[in-house]
Structure formats: structure tokens, C-alpha cells
A and B are shown apart, each in its own frame.
Chain A
Amino acid sequence: KAGVTQTPRYLIKTRGQQVTLSCSPISGHRSVSWYQQTPGQGLQFLFEYFSETQRNKGNFPGRFSGRQFSNSRSEMNVSTLELGDSALYLCASSLGRRSSYEQYFGPGTRLTVT
């Protein structure tokens, strides 16, 4: 079974631009979560989607948004990029929303904002 895939793997953008990141979960997984990882800050929760609905949202500004499609694929968008948005963005999928389900992470998208 194929793992979680994320595209693109690397991205360089300029301040003020916007970016869209894509995540394809493991086949059969219906829940997708997004995390921002920066040195020293660990994995900060962005949002969680299940059945095309956002179920939870982390403490990030409204510039960060996302969506999930009917095939469970998910995208996240960051508008008006700031230097501090440079990070590794990780997507994780799981079977469902039960807390007992483990998360399978993708390789991440490394975003650099200059």
C-alpha cells in the first residue's frame, strides 16, 4: 500500500506570495491532519479534516487554510507569506477520527520564504 504523498517536496516563495500544498493520504484513510514543524517548536497542529469537513483547527492565523476533497486528498493554503512561515509542513493520515488510530506521516513539504 502506498504511503502518504506530499507535493511539492520543496518550495521557495517570496514574502507576500501565496502557496498551496497537497497531500494524498493512504488509500482508505479518511482523516488528514496538517502540522507545521520548525526547529525548537516541534510539531504544531494546524488543522484536521475528516469527510471533507474541518474538525479541528490549531492556533494559527486565518492566512492558513485548508480543505479536503471527496477522495480524501487534502490541500493547505498559506496566503500573504511571511518569513516566519518557513518550515516543514507535514501531512498525516489516519483511518478515522478515533483517538486510537495512529497517524501516518508524509515526507513533508519544505517551504522557504525569502
Chain B
Amino acid sequence: GQQVMQIPQYQHVQEGEDFTTYCNSSTTLSNIQWYKQRPGGHPVFLIQLVKSGEVKKQKRLTFQFGEAKKNSSLHITATQTTDVGTYFCAGRAAALIFGKGTTLSVSS
């Protein structure tokens, strides 16, 4: 069945450093979505990428969708303590399948 893999599983950075999480699907995706879950909270939708090679930015966050539409990445520039949480990518084949997420911790 469809699998969505994310790396790394955990990442600790100093405030101000950059952070990147990578997502790979075993199948070609029609689109990919990214969610953020704060500690003790529930996942919240961040963005959706649809086109091959698409790049979208949200302030310090940059999202990319691979040319083959099988991989994606989220890059955060100059992390802040408010960026703490787990970032999930999700791709839909029959159902929306989530990666296991990357948990980001930031020390000031």
C-alpha cells in the first residue's frame, strides 16, 4: 500500500538556525499537504502543493513539491521558539496518508 516517509524523526536546533524536513512517497501523489501539531494540540493544516516543482512560501516557511510529485520538503529559516511542534506531510492516493512526522525542538 501507499507509504509516506519523513525524515528526520526528530530535530533539535538553536533559535535562529534553519530546519528542513523531507517527505517521500512510494507512489506519485496528486498533491501533498503539510500540517503542524503543537505539543498537546491537534494537527493544523499549513499548506497544499499541487503542481510538479511547485514552491510556496509562508513567511519563514518554504514548501517544495518534487518534479516527480513523489517527494516534498519544508524548510524553516531562522527558527523561533514558536516553531516548536511536529510537522507532518500527507499525501492522498485512496486515503490521505500521513508521514510519521518530524518533531522540532528549539532552544533559545
Which residues of A are interface residues toward B (Cβ below 8 A)? Answer: 33, 35, 40-45, 48, 55-56, 58-59, 90, 92, 99-100, 102-108
Contacts and interface: CB of A to CB of B under 8 A. Distances in A.
A100 B1 contact: no
B48 interface: yes
B95 A58 contact: yes
A55 B92 CA distance: 13
B75 to A, nearest CB: 20
A105 B31 contact: no
Contact of A33 (B30, B88, B95): B95
Q: Is the interface of A mostly helix, strand, loop or mixed?
A: strand
Contacts of A92: 43
B98 interface: yes
Given A45-B95, A56-B94, A58-B95, A40 B100 contact: yes
Nearest to A88: B42
A99 B43 contact: no
Contacts of B35: 103, 105
A42 B44 CA distance: 14
B97 interface: yes
B56 to A, nearest CB: 14
Contacts of B41: 107
A45 B96 contact: yes
Contacts of A42: 6, 88, 98-101
